[in-house]
């Protein structure tokens, strides 16, 4: 069968080290994706298959896999176009390109389109599995770092990159102005932040708004924080302070 010419079976598969991994295999060769799916599932992965380039991005967006293995020669849409559209849609799962196009130029095109690794056919199945697991470990480490980089105060966490503020594991339902105000207070948690400074941040670029408008935002935010284990305290003449319950 044709798929046998692109896989070299060199020995037993590695032990299952992460049963939670969810892999999406985008490959149109039925024999190849059947063999890969069977082998990778036997090693403990959950594997879904998409065999059409036209449906690949939608499938990716629906399943949100941990890792994607992507062939470049697909019916309906080329694999590079699939990858570019996925990255444009903010689908950030690590991607291993799997293809018979083995030239340096093709590798560069794939990496520039947003791929994380490249494996040319014929390939060793053990190597494929090892590279997929390495991508997954790297992605999980990145996610842990992103969480640890956030600003924490009591039960709240402020993600600087997204602007989202979490109470425990849930995103707080805040307006953009409330989120800006709370984020600024969390950056200086335990210290007073001047009313004028908060006004400049919350109403940036709005010259017709009066200083007293910040009090409305403070009032609404204080109500939303009432049962969250933190208090928004007014310090007359100084500004506002975020205080966490002991």
Pick the closest to residue 55 from 24, 98, 31, 34 (CA basis).
24
pTM of the model: 0.56
Domain 2-148 has CATH 3.10.20.30: no
- Higher pLDDT residue, 63 or 108? 63
pLDDT grade, residue 143 (50/70/90)? low
Residue 220 has pLDDT above 50, yes or no: yes
Give the whole-angstrom CA distance, residue 19 versus residue 101: 31
Residue 11 has pLDDT above 50, yes or no: no
Residue 2 has pLDDT above 70, yes or no: no
Neighbour count for residue 208 (Cβ, 10 Å): 5
Parts of the chain belonging to CATH 1.10.10.10:
151-244
Pick the closest to residue 172 from 188, 183, 184, 187 (CA basis).
183
Q: What is the pLDDT of residue 9?
A: 46
Residue 94 has pLDDT above 60, yes or no: yes
Parts of the chain belonging to CATH 3.40.50.2300:
2-148
Q: pLDDT over 70 for what percent of the chain?
A: 85
Domain 151-244 belongs to what topology? Arc Repressor Mutant, subunit A (1.10.10)
Q: What is the pLDDT of residue 173?
A: 93
For residue range 17-40, list pLDDT tens digits in order: 334 699 999 999 999 989 999 999
Q: pLDDT over 90 for what percent of the chain?
A: 47
Q: Which residues contact 101 (CB under 8 A, 6 or more apart)?
A: 72, 73, 120
pLDDT grade, residue 145 (50/70/90)? low
Q: Which residues contact 210 (CB under 8 A, 6 or more apart)?
A: none
């Amino acid at each position: 069968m044709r798929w046998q010419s692109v896989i070299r079976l060199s020995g037993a598969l590695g032990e299952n080290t992460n049963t939670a991994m969810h892999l999406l295999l985008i490959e149109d060769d039925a024999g190849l994706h059947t063999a890969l799916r069977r082998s990778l599932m036997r090693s403990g992965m959950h594997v879904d298959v998409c065999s059409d380039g036209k449906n690949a991005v939608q499938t990716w967006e629906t399943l949100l896999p941990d890792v994607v293995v992507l062939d470049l020669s697909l019916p309906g849409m080329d694999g590079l176009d699939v990858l570019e559209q996925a990255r444009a849609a903010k689908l950030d799962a690590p991607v291993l390109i799997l293809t018979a196009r083995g030239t340096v130029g093709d590798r560069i095109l794939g990496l520039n389109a947003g791929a994380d690794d490249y494996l040319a056919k014929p390939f060793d199945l053990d190597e494929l599995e090892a590279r997929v697991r390495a991508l997954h470990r790297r992605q999980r480490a990145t996610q842990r770092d992103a969480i640890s980089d956030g600003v924490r105060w009591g039960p709240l966490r402020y993600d600087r990159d997204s602007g989202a503020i979490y109470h425990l594991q849930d995103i707080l339902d805040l307006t953009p102005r409330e989120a800006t105000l709370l984020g600024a207070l969390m950056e200086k948690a335990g210290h007073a932040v001047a009313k004028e400074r908060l006004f400049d941040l919350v109403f940036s670029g709005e010259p017709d708004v009066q200083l007293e408008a910040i009090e409305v935002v403070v009032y609404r935010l204080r109500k939303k924080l009432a049962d969250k284990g933190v208090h928004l305290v007014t310090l007359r003449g100084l500004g506002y302070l975020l205080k966490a319950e002991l």
